[in-house]
Structure formats: C-alpha cells, structure tokens
Amino acid sequence: MNDIMPILKSLYQRKAPTLLLVLQISITLTILVNTIFMLLQKWDNINTSTGLEEKHTFSFTTNIQGDRSEIANLIKQDIERINQLSAVQVASSVSDIPYTSWGSTTQIGLPPSPEDALLRAGYYEGDYNALEAFGLKLIAGEWFKPSDIFYYEHTSTNTQRMPKLIISKALAEKLYPDDWREALGSTIYSGMDACTVVGIVEKLPSAWNWWKNNWHTVLSSGNYIDSEPIYMVRARPGMREQAMQQVSELLLQTPGRWLDNMAAFEQTRSKSHQSDFAVVVTLIVLVAILSTVTAFGIFGQVRYTIITRKKQIGTRRALGASRTQILRYFMLESLIVTSVGIGIGVLLSLICNTYLMVLFELPPIPGDYLIVGALAMLGIGQLATLQPVYQASLVSPAIVTRMG
C-alpha cells in the first residue's frame, strides 16, 4: 500500500501516455462486452430449439392441375396417397414453412375492436395432420377436429366460416401476461376475423428467424385454395431420404407435375442462418483482434515505461528494494491503470447497450457480462505486463553507476 502514492504521482507525470492507455482499455472493454453479448445472442438464435420435428421432416412445393373447384379435393388426394407410402409417417398441406424467409403475418388484436391491434404475428394455415407433421407439442387445449378444417377461395373476404386458431405460448403470454392460459378459449382478432383459440403449442417459429416477433405465431384451420400448395412430410425414423424419393416418384407420375424446393428441414433452417453464422465468425475475429491489440498496447506501454525508467529502477535497487518489490510496484501500477480503464469502460458499455436496445431491439445487457468482461480485461492487463515487469525486476543496482 506504500507504493500507491508514488505510483499515482508517477502516472500524473506521464499523463498523456497514461490517458491514452486508459482510453484504449475502456473502449476495448465497451466493444468487447457488447460484441460478445451480440455474438451470444446470435449463437442462441442459431441453436435454440424450434419446437418442431427437425430430424425426420422435409417440405416441398408442387402444382395442382385441374379446375379451381377441384383443387381442394386434389390436395386431399395427394396427402392421402403420400400417407400410404411405406417410408412416410404423415404428410400435411400447409401454407408456409418455418425459416424459409417467405411467409405470411396477421394483425392480432383483442375485443372489442379489431382496429386495436397489439402486434403482428406469424401466420400459418394447415390441415388436420399439421400437428404431427410439424411435430408440435400441444401444451393446452385441443387440436383441430376434422370438421374444423375448411378451404376458401378469396383471401380478402372470407364469410363462409370463422377459422379456429392454435397459437404459440409466446403469443399467449403476450396477450395475457398475468396468466397465458387465459388465452385458451378466448376470442382474438386475426386481421378482421374474430377467431376462437382452441389450443396452445409450446413453440412455433415464424418464417423469419431474425424477426422480433419470431415466436408469436398462429395456425388457422381455414386453408386458402392454392394451385401451388406446400406439403410438409414427416418420414419414419431413419427413412427420410427414402421418403423423399418415394414422394417424388409418386407425384411425378402425373404428366406436367413438378416439385420445387424439396429440402430437409435442417437444410432449410441452416440456410436461413447463413448470415447469422457469418456474423458470429466476424464477431469472433473482431474479439480476438481487439484483445490482441489491447494486450500489445499494454505490453508496449509498460515496456516503454521500464526502458525510460531504468535509472530509477536501479536507484531503488541500490537503496535496497528487492526484485519482488520492483515486480509488485509495476504490477500494481498496471492494475491501477487497467482498473480506471475498466471503470470508464463499464459506464460506456451501459450507454452503448442502451442505444443497441433501441436500434436492434436487444435485451439489456446482464451484469454478468460486465463482471466477466472486467475480469477478462484485468487478466489481459496483468498478463501483458508480466514479461516487461519481470525484466524490470532484473535491473542491476550497478546500472546507476554506469549511467551516471
């Protein structure tokens, strides 16, 4: 503790290099903490569970040839024929596939007026087999009954029947934050339609993994008649490749039939995360470069200080200071400089995170990140200081006479 005042006086005498080093440490900490936070957010997004059956499913788009009045029945026939294949467990006709970056949304509101929209949610339509084909986990209520499924021709006005809805738990929590189970059996507006919520699934992602409302989704029992339907197929365990081949051979028997975008679900999801992977790699490289540059900065500053203060070190050695005391003195000096930089860096990190929350809708940065970041910077500072400080402890008292 007797070294603190001499250290502070020495740092004051070398204000410019000391302030530059403090600034470098604080800016580095700010960038590192927020960069690592964003990196881990991306990584969690890449690896989070979708709540779907990923291992055995695949999807594709096809075309239906026939009069428009026959399309709904022809789709049903397709599904029945696919379900009879030996490698297929279940097939379903759906409006969109998660993670394709191509899909639909709907405006969600609560009574009394559909005009009072709360948010936009991902929107799916599906037949009776969609629960098993997607691999959804129903956690409340019930699935659609066969009689709930219907088909309609016009997207703007559907006066035939009001669809029933299955919604995700995340959406239920948004609508009823006190108790998400209150959503079950309630009436909500999907667009201008008043719909009854008959079931809640644990998870159902939207078509866009980057979307802020990715987990706020609904699945409707009403199905738009589309001459280019999308099919989701769940193969029997270990038989997905065989199922894909069987489905292709079956449907292509019809002249003029085509299949497009046939892909395993892992492939679809991996493709949607390509930009996320690129960002993660870039951020990792950035963190490594910043850490290295900061370490060399501290190393260079301490080394320069020792070179310019050899006579002072030799004098202290001549007056009886041991090598351990010299080592402790410079390590403590480095610790003080690094600590000041960390203190400023923590403040800057909080300010920077506030702007990131607004710009990228990120959650507030947890205190653990600041603590770990501060400890990491202390470690980098001490490690970068160790070698030049050790060289300082080896300075001989005789250097005073040689430099005199």
The pLDDT tens digits of the residues spanning 344-400 come to 989 988 888 888 777 766 678 888 888 988 998 888 888 888 888 888 777 777 665
Phi and psi based region of residue 135 (left: phi greater than 0; alpha: psi -120 to 50; beta: remaining)? left
| pLDDT at position 155 | 60
Closest CA to 17 of 356, 301, 287: 301
- Whole-prediction pTM: 0.78
Q: Residues 306-319, buried b or exposed e (16+ Cβ, 10 A)?
A: beebbeebbbbbee
Q: Hey, what are 38's tokens? A: 């964003």
- Average pLDDT of every residue of the chain: 88
Residue 15 backbone zone (phi > 0: left; psi -120 to 50: alpha; other: beta): alpha
Q: CA-to-CA distance for 127 and 12, rounded, in angstroms?
A: 75
At residue 237, the pLDDT reads 95
User: Which token pair is 193?
Assistant: 């339609």
Instruction: Give 404's contacts (C-beta < 8 A, 6+ positions apart).
Output: none
pLDDT of residue 200: 98
Which tens digit of pLDDT belongs to each residue from 229-281? Answer: 999 999 999 999 999 999 999 999 999 999 999 999 999 999 999 988 898 99
pLDDT of residue 45: 85
Amino acid at position 372, single letter:
V
Q: Which pLDDT belongs to residue 327?
A: 84
Predicted local distance difference test score (pLDDT) of residue 75 = 95
Taking alpha carbons only, the member of 152, 225, 220 closest to residue 188 is 220
